[in-house]
Amino acid sequence: MAGLVEYPLQGKRFTCSQENEKKLSKTDRFLVCENFFNKWPDACVRVLPGLLFDHCPIALSVLDLKYGPRPFRMYSSWIGRPGFEESVMKAVEGFTSAEPPDVVLTKKFVCIRKSLKIWQDELQEKENEQINLAVGELERLEEEMEDRDLSEQEDWTLAENRKLIKDIEFRRNGDLKQSSRVRFGDPLPIWPDLLCDNLRQLSEEDKDFLISPFSSSKIKEAVVGCHDGKAPGPDGMNFKLIKAFWSLFEDDFWNLFQQFHNDGAFNNGSSSSFITLVPKIKDPVSLSNFRPINLVGVVSKVVSKALANRMRKVLSKVISDSQSAFIREYLTGGYL
């Protein structure tokens, strides 16, 4: 094409292998206009490892971007990994505090988070070392493939290294999917005040039920009812950790609910949350294409779930039979 300049490849001469990796070809390249090339003459085109595929991606790098530290987040895939349970148990061993229950639970999360950060760094370092060794071996074998056929032993080594990388990448992709899964709803409208006669009202018995203390079974029911990967708040913990180590947190949540029942509020910092922007459309281009959502932690989520479970038992007594919203029985009873 006239007027286009091609950046030379670095790292490899070929980008695609076919026919059982016996035929190599260069099917990918970056072609840019002269203005682009003159603005970034030192840009670099690198051929990345194909790893699990017969096609190697290429990357054009013009800037070295660095981002700040990322907040801690607990991933469900960590449960059952070597050393994870020991790190959690070691973090809470000998933990004591005489502060309010919500502060105690928050500080216990802090101890666990510090311990898991050390464990995560060690695990990440080990996996990165395994990947680097596997990638190095793959690159060496792919270079050998350009000049000769691989032996049976080398073919086996190639397959094993790809399997190792695939297993690690599968777990990491699962973590990425968990961190990006966010659900949100439309904002509630502002309803006008209405004066209506003959409205349904709760009985005194139902009113007493709504304000009664929470039992341990109902607290556990609220925890179990929460999604394993939900509540990606500032504490970084999710419900799979809470469920897996419920014996460590049962008393803390019991004390927390008793405090909330008596005071109706949390201490500063115990119910902190993240405010973030979620795109409304596939390719947002302006601020109006985003909506803000509030990412709460496990403390707020459990209390909200327990309150919702309690409200669900009496809603049908104040909502008309002709309405289907908010009542699960109505939705499954022939109204759809």
DSSP track, 45-86: EEEPP-TTSSB--EEEE-------PPPP---GGGTTSTTHHH
Q: What integer pLDDT is reported at residue 173 of this predicted model? A: 75
Cβ pair 255, 103 in contact under 8 A: no
* List of residues 6+ apart from 271 with CB closer than 8 A: 102, 296, 297, 299, 300
Q: How far apart are alpha carbons 259 and 269 in whole angstroms?
A: 15
Query: Which residue type is seen at 222?
Result: A
Burial of 109 from C-beta contacts in 10 A (0-12 / 13-18 / 19+): buried
Q: What integer pLDDT is reported at residue 287 of this predicted model? A: 81
What averages of pLDDT result for each successive group of 10 residues across the chain (336 residues)? 70 66 69 76 72 71 58 78 87 83 84 87 85 83 78 82 82 69 45 62 85 89 83 72 87 88 78 79 80 81 88 81 60 41
Q: What Cα–Cα distance (Å) separates residue 48 from each residue in 137, 163, 227, 249? A: 14, 18, 37, 46
The DSSP secondary-structure symbol of 232 reads: -
Q: What integer pLDDT is reported at residue 131 of this predicted model? A: 83
